[in-house]
């Protein structure tokens, strides 16, 4: 009995001598070891795994200022998207892995990335449709803030430059009466309204990459959405056409169709730009 009491007293003394910081560190090490063991079992049980080569860059952390690629192996399952794999990699391997995402339904446009050499929405891109290993990078022609996150401010400034809002000549008489639009006109502008401001088209455009002042396909498409709407005011439409009828507006487009090819919402961006070119010419015609 005395021996047991001595051992208990010795254990209590050792515990008392251990600082709270050391105890927390030991507990963290135990949890990490358990997590690594669970990960090994999970990967071992998976029928198939896929490797992601993910671009990493953090200018504020010593030793991570130089761009590099880190490899992450994730268990694959049917229906898995690139965003699913990124979230798994962040939550399982490295909580500092940084990327934007929100709705996961191809509506918010926040997770546009350069995946296997093409601009895509991570939440919409099925892993099964890609060649493995999968290479994930931030959008080209944008300043990288950290890892897969790029600075979108210039893109938003270009969108704002076309003044993307209605300015009708007259409002309905009734307080609750809507501004009516014919089905035919609605059909004409319908595709242009699908834009989710993801920036994929701007990133794919060689002209935008070399000419920072170019409005870009997304902003011009937004101008198309309002200029072609029959509810737009006459004077306002002329002013909007004047905004895009400039050297860095529609006339900078060289009809490469790259923006149309990468648009995740299948908007015929190049066609809209060409139609606005025709409208701009007609707007400048004078008969006297």
DSSP 57-92: --TTSTT--S-EEEEEEEE--TT-BHHHHHHHHHHH
pLDDT higher than 90, residue 21: no
**pLDDT tens per residue across span 140-191:** 999 999 999 999 999 999 999 998 888 888 877 777 788 888 999 999 999 9
Peptide bond into 133 cis (omega under 30): yes
Give me the sign of the Cα torsion angle 44, 46, 48, 53: negative
Domain 37-149 superfamily per CATH: Beta-grasp domain (3.10.20.30)
Architecture per CATH, domain 152-171+182-284, reads as Orthogonal Bundle (1.10)
| 217-227 vs 234-244: helix crossing angle, rounded to 10 | 160
Which segments of the chain belong to CATH 1.10.1060.10?
A: 152-171+182-284
Residue span(s) of the chain under CATH 3.10.20.30 come to 37-149
CA-nearest of 193, 197, 219 to 208 is 219
**Backbone phi and psi for residue 6, each to the nearest 5 degrees, phi listed first:** -65, -45
Distances 29 to 15, 16, 24 between C-alpha atoms, Å: 17, 20, 9
How much is the pLDDT for 191?
A: 96
* 33 pLDDT more than 90: no
31 pLDDT band, cuts 50/70/90, is: confident
pLDDT band for 96, please (50, 70, 90 cuts): very high
* pLDDT per position as a tens digit, 231-288: 998 888 888 899 999 889 999 999 999 999 999 999 999 999 999 999 989 888 766 5
């Amino acid at each position: 009995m005395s021996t047991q009491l001595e051992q208990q007293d010795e254990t209590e003394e050792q515990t008392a001598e251990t600082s709270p910081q050391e105890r927390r560190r030991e507990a963290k090490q135990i949890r990490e070891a358990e997590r690594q063991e669970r990960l090994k079992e999970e990967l071992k049980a998976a029928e198939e795994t896929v490797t992601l080569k993910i671009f990493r860059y953090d200018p504020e952390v010593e030793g991570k200022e130089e761009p590099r690629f880190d490899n992450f192996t994730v268990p694959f399952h049917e229906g898995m998207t690139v965003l699913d794999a990124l979230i798994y990699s962040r939550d399982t391997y490295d909580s500092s892995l940084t990327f934007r995402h929100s709705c996961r339904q191809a509506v918010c446009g926040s997770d546009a990335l350069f995946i296997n050499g093409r601009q895509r929405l991570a939440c919409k891109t099925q892993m099964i449709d890609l060649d493995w290993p999968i290479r994930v990078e931030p959008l080209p022609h944008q300043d990288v803030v950290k890892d897969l996150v790029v600075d979108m401010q210039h893109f938003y400034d270009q969108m704002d430059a076309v003044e993307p809002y209605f300015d009708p000549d007259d409002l309905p008489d009734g307080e609750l009466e809507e501004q009516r639009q014919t089905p035919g006109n609605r059909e004409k502008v319908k595709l242009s309204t699908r834009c989710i401001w993801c920036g994929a088209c701007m990133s794919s455009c060689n002209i935008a990459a070399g000419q920072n002042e170019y409005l870009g396909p997304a902003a011009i498409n937004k101008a198309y959405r309002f200029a072609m709407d029959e509810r737009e005011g006459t004077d306002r439409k002329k002013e909007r056409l004047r905004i895009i009828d400039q050297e860095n507006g529609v006339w900078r487009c060289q009809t490469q169709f790259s923006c149309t090819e990468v648009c995740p919402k299948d908007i015929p961006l190049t066609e809209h730009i060409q139609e606005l070119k025709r409208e701009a010419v007609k707007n400048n015609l004078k008969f006297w």
